[in-house]
Structures are given as C-alpha cells and as structure tokens.
C-alpha cells in the first residue's frame, strides 16, 4: 500500500520549476509600453495554448507575430481587449515569447496578468495566484517617475520636461534662421546701393571729361 501510494504521488504532475513571466515589471503611468510574456514548457507534454487576461485599464493596440503561433483577441463588453489567446506547439524543454504594445493606466498601482497554460495532454496550469503561491500571476508595477518607454512612438500627454526640451531647440533654431536671413538681406541691399552709387559717380566723371574736351 505504501509503495502504491508513493507511485501515485510520483505519477502526478511535477511542481512548477519555472513561471510565466512578463517584462518590464516597472512602467510609467499613461505610457505606451512593449510588454513581453515569456512562457516556459515544464511538463512532459507540449504547451498548445496560452491565454493571458489583460488587467483593467490596460489598452493593447499592436501585436508582434510569433512564428508557429496564432493569435486571437477576446473583446470585452466595452470593445477593449479582455484576453489575448495564442495557440501553437511548444516543446516541453523550450520556451516562447509573445510581445504586444499597450497603453498603461493613468494612475499608479499593480497590474496582474493572469494566464492559463494548456498542455497537449489536457492539463491546464492556472497562473493566477499571488506572488508567494506555487503558480503566481505575473505582476507589473505602475510607478510615478518611472522611465517612459513611448513604444511605437504612440505616446500621449508627454511630460512638461520632455515638451520643453523639444520646443526650446526648435524656437532657438527658428530665431537663428530669421536673424541670418535679415543680415543677408541687409548686406545684399547695401551692396546694391554701393554699386548704384559707384555707377553714378563713374557716369558723372565721364560727363565732366566729355565737357572739358
């Protein structure tokens, strides 16, 4: 009986050695960020589906294609993206990465990316627990003052410092250009006036010479 019990325990699914992860783990509020979900294969069978639920107020808008995998978007009632589902084949000793761009919430806090990992033998591992659990959900911290990524150049509401740094050189450059143009125009006008005066003096000398003759 004891041997049978030990055999039954050994035949059960192995404990999780690696976790589903997401990067980056710290982001700025109200910023377009490139998120990458890393999924390891950690059982004898292949991973065939990965389902990631988007945190509230996260706004996915662009997705990187992963060779060998098909992506499906599950929409929420408000038209936003509620879940991203990837289907394909992941060997037991491999890993796969899925990347997408998304706008972060306008306020600070934590975002949990709850994920379901389905294997070819029908096993579903639910990565939805707290950080101390056996199957934790990946967590991203939205922190004020964190470096802005502006992934894809889709940023909105840039910081005052960024706006100032972008506008100041432009204003100085514009002022310098106009000053240079004005100086050039004045110089050309002066040359023209001088040429006309020299021509007038030359004609006057020619007339005086003609009268004396």
Same domain, 148 and 163: no
CATH value at residue 40: 2.60.40.2230
Q: What is the pLDDT along the chain (213 residues), one digit of tens a residue?
A: 434 333 333 333 444 457 999 999 999 999 999 999 999 998 999 999 999 999 999 999 999 999 999 999 999 999 999 999 999 999 989 999 999 999 999 999 999 999 999 999 999 999 999 999 999 999 999 999 999 999 987 555 444 334 433 444 444 445 445 555 555 555 555 555 545 555 655 565 555 555 554
Number of domains in the chain: 2
Same domain, 53 and 141: yes
How far apart (Å, rounded) are the C-alpha atoms in residues 158 and 132?
A: 36
Same domain, 135 and 38: yes
The set of residues, in sequence order, having a beta carbon less than 8 Å from that of 128 and lying 6+ positions away, is: 112, 114, 115, 116, 135, 137
Same domain, 119 and 173: no
Range of the domain at 118: 2-157
How far apart (Å, rounded) are the C-alpha atoms in residues 123 and 81?
A: 26
Asked whether the whole model's pTM tops 0.85, one would answer no
């Amino acid at each position: 009986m004891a041997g049978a019990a030990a055999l039954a325990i050994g035949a059960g699914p192995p404990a999780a050695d690696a976790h589903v992860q997401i990067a980056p783990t710290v982001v700025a509020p109200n910023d377009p960020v490139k998120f990458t979900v890393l999924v390891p294969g950690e059982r004898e069978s292949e991973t065939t589906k990965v389902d990631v639920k988007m945190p509230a107020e996260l706004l996915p808008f662009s997705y990187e294609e992963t060779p060998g995998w098909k992506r499906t978007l599950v929409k929420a009632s408000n038209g936003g993206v509620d879940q991203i589902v990837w289907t394909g084949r992941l060997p037991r000793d491999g890993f796969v990465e899925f990347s997408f761009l998304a706008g972060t919430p306008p306020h600070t806090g934590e975002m949990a990316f709850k994920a379901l990992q389905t294997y070819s033998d029908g096993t579903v591992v639910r990565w939805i627990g707290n950080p101390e659990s056996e199957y934790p959900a990946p967590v991203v911290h939205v922190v004020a003052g964190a470096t802005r990524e502006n992934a894809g150049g889709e940023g909105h509401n840039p910081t005052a410092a960024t706006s100032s740094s972008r506008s100041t050189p432009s204003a100085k450059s514009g002022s310098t250009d106009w000053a240079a143009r004005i100086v050039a125009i004045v110089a050309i006008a002066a040359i023209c006036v001088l040429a006309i005066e020299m021509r007038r003096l030359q004609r006057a000398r020619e007339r005086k010479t003609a009268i004396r003759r």
